[in-house]
Structure 1
């Protein structure tokens, strides 16, 4: 299969149906196809050759959608850039992947001088905005208007689709190489559950489109003929308005986004009845937030997807029926239809059920490898299994419970403490809106369990009360020995808590003892 196949099928079966919606701008399938073919022609005219990387640094828009299709149409390779990165991080990724052409919107135009200074090889920058292109940049709209459409290269199968750089939250970013087969395997497997996206529905993109979680959702939407509706970025009001105005049927969110939506004071003002499927990831959802979400979106089913960029990105799914069982809501679900999953020890032997080990996965969704990193690729893919670095266990029915990143495990007084277990206990406190648990230096214990807590507006809690609350749910050595209260937790573009940032405040440049 090839990514642009979805556009050919849509053009054949419904050229006049709306394909993209961005603000007041609606483009049909036929209009989108023409613009994609012309953009591909423009890329070729700019010197883009077979397998060359083309990057984009932009907020969500219909033009992002066009980029995702036009780049492989031109026989080139996607390189979506993390919009939360610094200029130094972006320049590093562009230089390492030898990406010499960048599409950029108005939000990130101010970064261009710094990027060019740090990476002189950045030869061409295309401006995605509506107005005139700034000096030294080419106009996206003028390129499309002045370029002839070209035939689709039909780049597909095991050929490289994109280089997706990891978040850099645990060190130097790595370029994950994914093929068309990788992405479609994950998308089709997820859709096979029947609970992922609505055929012919209206799919909202409020999560960042640079991230593969949204990219996979977009690809699934393309497969089922969805209208792709974009908002520039997530804001509670913007999403509520979009769901109501555009009669959205499907949305990809993370639990922090869901919580912000359901707690918004203006929720009753919006008609949210159209929403049928909510797919969430990055972390499990708390029971309290899930119950509020069900009341806010009464017609929606909830599916949790667990995985990582290297798995294109889905490995397991917690389906709507699973959410009816409270004991499974902290689970990441069971192996998706396209994936094989198991839990292994350090020697890659499968461990008994309910025994914590490393989560590994195998199948056609597993990445090709890391860009220019053969040794790290070999380590990650040893034995044909992608080693996720996540610690977890599997129950007797195949449900996977992720307990922690292996590197995030806290060793306190010789005891292993999995932060996710402590966070689950803390999150049930009625005053806690969000929390993160890390290990911090301790002269006596080596590390001590430390909790960073965000309280719900208007509610209070103190250390003693929180500690007593946790003690009722988990063993004493797992209970946080220290607390701090914050207004918010640092988040990645994918909605994951940046524990590296929290640890840095306590460890500085020192390494953790484990």
Structure 2
């Protein structure tokens, strides 16, 4: 298994088919293959050897697509950088991974002087934007024009394919080591369900391409000979326009993106009938938002994916048929074809059906380990199982229900409160656009349930009304004792709410 396999297959079978669409640029499979082979040659000429890490700090683009293929083609290792990080965090990840070559686009070229100051070992910067190349960088297009193509190194199987740094929701990011087998197994497992990523798919890249959720779709569609429609970053108008103009068939969105689309006043003015599959995940979604999205895209089958970077990234899937059963809308689905899922207690033994424990996963998609962190690796990988740190339970039919991150569970007055349950109830209030529930220190209760809420535009609601609404639906001790209203919630590059940042405010 190899990340470059799909390009070789497409070059043999459909060389003149369009492979990428980015703005006004379209490139065929044959054109992409030629550019990838030249970029790989340029990387080798710049001193990139087998197993060396090559970083990418960029918004989505067709050149990002080429980077994902050229780095393994050169025999090197991918290091896609989280675009929401500070200079300090980016420099740390480059130093931690020993990435000496970095590709940057126009949006991030201004960060290069600061990165060089914090990470003097940065040897080469390749500018992959469309504006003028900065003085301290090499031109991406000039490198391609002046370099001969090289043969694919055919890096594959258990060899390291990439370092993918975790989103940092619970601490400083760790480099997750994923092999070619890890990544391809997860992508093919998802495609094998038939829920999405079918042959001929036209996948819209609106989620960030540095993230595993988008990358998994990229791998599947590349292997199946599909077309990649790429927008630089999520924007409701850009997404709606791209779907209509390019007849997009598959789209991956995180819940905050879904909310932004269904709330946009121009939603009904665009023809979205081409969309046949919507994959969502990365964080829980409020049931009202999901139901509105399903109504807005009636031709699309909705699939929820649950997983994590360490699982490359998919563990379970809730398919389109499951979405038609109201009792399952709060489920994360059942184990994907490539994964085995259990819920275990502190001793590592499976707990009874319906009992909350820790979700663990086994299979060929499970990471190799954490880069340069053997102790962290041993703690996460035990007896062949990846311990996710998520609390959940399985029902009698194998459907997984996520209760909470174990670290996010609130213990108030001796009672366990799962923040996800409270968030789902609060989100059902018509005046709520988004919310996050955390535990904050309390002299009486140890921790108290606290909600941070973003009101829907033009709506008004008070803390007392939120508490009354919550108490009408779940036990009183689970209702937020305190409520704050905010303009927005802090989110990671993958769209996950950063509860760590919220906790800092109330520590």
Question: Fold match, TM over 0.5?
Answer: yes
Partner in structure 2 of residue 311 of structure 1: 311
Matches within 5 A, 1:469-480: 469-480=469-480
Mapped to 1, the partners of 2:322 and 2:313 lie a distance apart of 21
Structure-to-structure mapping, 1:28-47, within 5 angstroms: 28-47=28-47
- 1:368-383 aligned within 5 A: 368-383=368-383
CA distance in 2, matches of 1:280, 1:402: 15
Contact 1:344/1:351, CA 8 A, preserved across alignment:
yes
Q: Distance in 1 between matches of 2:148 and 2:308?
A: 38
Q: Which residue matches 1:76?
A: 76
- Structure 1 runs of 4+ off > 4 angstroms? none
Q: Which residue of 1 aligns with 2:427?
A: 427
List aligned pairs for 1:9-28, cutoff 5 A.
9-28=9-28
Secondary structure of 2:163's counterpart equals strand
| Aligned residue runs from structure 1 range 257-268, under 5 A | 257-268=257-268
> How big is the shift at 1:368?
0.3
For residues 323 and 14 of structure 1, what CA distance do their matches in structure 2 show?
35
The correspondence of residues 85-164 of structure 1 with structure 2, limited to 5 A, is 85-164=85-164
Q: Distance in 2 between matches of 1:210 and 1:110?
A: 19
1: CA distance, partners of 2:504 / 2:290? 32
Contact persistence 2:2–2:157 (CA under 8 A): yes
Secondary structure of 1:172 counterpart: coil
Q: CA deviation at 1:327?
A: 1.0
Please state how far the C-alpha of 1:452 moved relative to its aligned partner. Answer: 0.6
Distance across 2 between alignment mates of 1:21 and 1:14? 16
Q: How many positions carry a matched residue from both structures?
A: 507
The aligned runs of 1:337-352 (5 Å cut-off) are 337-352=337-352
Q: Is the 8 Å Cα contact of residues 451 and 482 (structure 1) preserved in structure 2?
A: yes
* Structure 1 residue 294: Cα displacement: 2.1
Q: Please show how residues 252-401 of structure 1 align to structure 2 within 5 Å.
A: 252-401=252-401
Residue deviations 1:143-179 (CA, integer Å, cap 9, x gap): 0110000000010000000000111222121000000
SS in 1 for 2:222: helix
CA distance in 1, matches of 2:295, 2:319: 18
Any idea what the Cα deviations from partners look like across 1:174-218, whole Å, max 9, x if unmatched? Answer: 000000000111011111110121311210000000011111111
SS of residue matched to 2:108: helix
Tell me by how many angstroms 1:283 deviates.
Answer: 2.5
- RMSD of the alignment, in Å? 0.8
Q: Residue 510 of structure 1 aligns with which residue?
A: none
Cα distance per residue 1:5-59 (max 9 Å; x no partner): 1100000011110000000000000000000000000000000000000000000
| C-alpha distance in structure 1 between counterparts of 2:278 and 2:345, whole Å | 34
Which residue of 1 is the match for residue 192 of structure 2? 192
**Paired position in structure 2 for 1:203:** 203
Question: Does the 8 A contact of 1:285 with 1:329 survive in 2?
Answer: no
Q: Which moved more, 1:76-85 or 1:282-291?
A: 282-291
The CA distance in 2 between the partners of 1:124 and 1:81, in whole Å, is 16
- 1:34 counterpart SS class: helix
Question: Is the 1:80–1:210 Cα contact (8 Å) retained in structure 2?
Answer: yes
**132-141 or 56-65, which deviates more:** 132-141
Q: Indicate if the aligned counterparts of 2:183 and 2:216 stay in contact, CA closer than 8 A.
A: yes
Q: Kindly state the Cα deviation for residue 287 of structure 1 after the two structures are TM-superposed.
A: 2.6
In 1, Cα distance between equivalents of 2:386 and 2:378: 10
Aligned partners of 1:481 and 1:383: how far apart in 2? 41
Preserved CA contact (<8 Å) 2:254 2:495 = yes
Compute the TM-score of the two structures, normalised by the length of structure 1.
Answer: 0.98
Whether contact under 8 Å (2:106, 2:131) holds in the other structure is no
Secondary structure at the aligned position of 2:474 is classed as coil
1:166 aligns with 2:166: yes
Contact 2:467 2:479 in 1 (8 A): yes
Q: Aligned equivalents of 2:300 and 2:54: distance in 1?
A: 37
Contact 1:284 1:304 in 2 (8 A): no
2-structure distance, mates of 1:103, 1:280: 29
Contact 2:284 2:420 in 1 (8 A): no
Which runs of structure 2 are paired with 1:496-507 in the superposition (5 Å)? 496-507=496-507
For the residues of structure 1 that align with 2:236 and 2:320, how far apart are their CA atoms? 24
Look up the match of 1:467. 467
2: CA distance between counterparts of 1:151 and 1:496? Answer: 39
Shift, 1:350, TM fit: 0.5
> The residue matched to 1:320 in structure 2 has which SS?
coil
| Cα distance between partner residues in 2 of 1:394 and 1:437 | 23
Task: Indicate conservation of the 8 Å contact 2:165/2:173, yes or no.
Answer: yes
- Distance in 2 (CA, whole Å) between partners of 1:86 and 1:12 is 42
Cα contact 1:315–1:335 (8 A) shared by 2: yes
Partner SS, residue 43 of structure 1: helix
Q: Which is further off, 484-493 or 140-149?
A: 484-493
Cα distance in 2, alignment partners of residues 404 and 291 from structure 1:
22
State how far apart, in whole Å, the 1-side matches of 2:250 and 2:203 are: 5
Give SS of 1:107's match. Answer: coil
